[in-house]
Amino acid sequence: MKFGILVNEGPFQHQAADTAYHFIKAALDRGHEVHRVFFYHDGVNNANKLSEPQQDDRNVVHRWSKLAEEHGIDLVVCVAAALRRGIKDEILAPGFRISGLGQLVESGIQADRLVVFGD
């Protein structure tokens, strides 16, 4: 099965980003495909390479970058939501790119299922 993923919440104030990450890992382990993760609303904060979690905490941003590198997953950050939160190309973590809502629509069309994490 081919999944598209939508993440609407940031990495530290809600469980949605962690749940999305673990869902993707489990899907990949079972042979499914995840072609794109679209970050929208506060979810765009998952792409901010300037975040510095404590040493004993998980590094959510780094995990997303590593996942994209290892599995060729397209990590797309909504341009409008990103700009509202001061996120520009210069502070995107590796593997992320900024684009528009058309990428979310395309993901919904190409995927067998579009799974949404967060409100």
Whether 15 and 29 have beta carbons less than 8 Å apart is answered as no
Whether 36 and 2 have beta carbons less than 8 Å apart is answered as no
Catalytic residues: 78
Per-residue tokens: 99: 């684009």
